[in-house]
Amino acid sequence: MSRPVTLTLNAGSSSLKFSLYDISGEPAQLAAGLVENIGKAPRLKADLGEGEARVARELDAAQAADHHGALSTVLDLLRQTFPTARASVVGHRVVHGGPRFSSPMVVTDGVMAELRKLAPFAPIHQPHNLAGIAAAQAAFPEALQVACFDTAFHRHHPKANDVFALPREYYDKGIRRYGFHGLSYEYVSGELKRIAPLIHAGRVVVAHLGNGASMCAILDGRSVASTMGFTALDGLPMGTRCGQVDPGVIFYMVQQEGRTIDEVRDIFYNKSGLLGLSGISNDMRVLESAGVPEANEAIDYFVFRIRRELGGLAAALGGLDALVFCGGIGENSRKIRRRICDGLDWIGLELDHDRNDSNARVISTDFSRARIMVVPTNEELVIARAAQRLLAEGQAATA
């Protein structure tokens, strides 16, 4: 007897992350993993759940020459491990939904055509997200394909937080502040509603800090401002992305250095951020242990930008009731959290160092006017829930 499952996919430029969920009730994760270095020296890593050994092995280049091959390799593994599982719906993370898509959508030919048009808005993400959808459509021709958008959570910003000071026609062309990491913010906001409803109903800044980093001001569960803008470049410095930069730098690189736009884009997306500032690594763990001035300077800038953006987002909210950390750095780096929070009593934040060092959920003191929390994010679960819901709606409509 088969059991209904959903497969969630997050396709990057050279990776394919996956999770398998049982959706006979509330989604329950059965397995998770990724194929990395697709097209180069591919490697498969997977956790196949209780009682199953973890998988970590090199792949032949032919097994993951592209996203189709990577997905086939993943499916072979999952079929061997879960022979009774039947994927009736596949959920996909799609970075950019543009002005139109403000909620998860069933993927149709028309939806795919619209998403392809958005590729220039997210050039290092969107094409690979869509390649993952195409691979899943080929592997599961009868399954429902569901797209979940990182921009959707931010689509109800006040107009003043949504525009650039450009000629008005550019807004109509889609040049606006979209914000990203929306699936992460949606999960954290939902968790706050479950574990701290009074905080959820108030003024919250969530800091999603990882290789990609951004911050979001949330009022009563709704995004009102984000550090990211038109693309996933803006705002905080990231692992290899520059964050906020004067647009005049682009003119200088093109006009004075003779660089092409593709070269500038490569610098901004792939050679900047923590990697560019330090000249050492984009990995915060490496930088924290390096003990050299270049690494320390990169960390200093990262912390400075977070503290600066926190003040601006608190102003957008009219005050602050909670600061919540998530993402790989936010959830795991005690040092970064301490450096961000120390000296912020003027905004109502008082860090308890012992709680922070023990990675407690609440890391503020009992006397802190605003709470400081660590809430591990789970974007895959948001995708699985959306896929399950749209599958149920489709089944009800045809019943």
Rounded (5°) CA angle 224-229-234: 125
Distant-in-sequence, close-in-space partners of 285: CB < 8 Å, separation ≥ 6: 333
Residue 242 structure tokens: 């520059």
Question: Residues 150, 162, 234, 321: which is the catalytic one?
Answer: 150
Which ranges of 91-233 does DSSP label H, i.e. alpha helix? Answer: 109-117, 126-139, 168-172, 182-195, 197-200
For residue 274, give the nearest of 306, 308, 245, 299 by alpha carbon: 299
Residue 164 structure tokens: 């650039």
For residue 20, give the nearest of 388, 390, 326, 289 by alpha carbon: 388
Is the Cα dihedral 335, 325, 94, 159 positive or negative?
negative
Assess contact for 244 and 235: CB atoms under 8 A: yes
- The question of whether 150 is a catalytic residue gets the answer yes
For tokens 């970075």, name the residue: 95
For residue 38, give the nearest of 16, 10, 58, 8 by alpha carbon: 16
For residue 265, give the nearest of 287, 286, 240, 288 by alpha carbon: 240
For tokens 């008082």, name the residue: 350
- The one-letter amino acid code at 204 reads V
Distances in whole angstroms, Cα of residue 111 to Cα of each of 14, 57, 285: 24, 36, 40
Which positions are annotated as active-site residues? 150
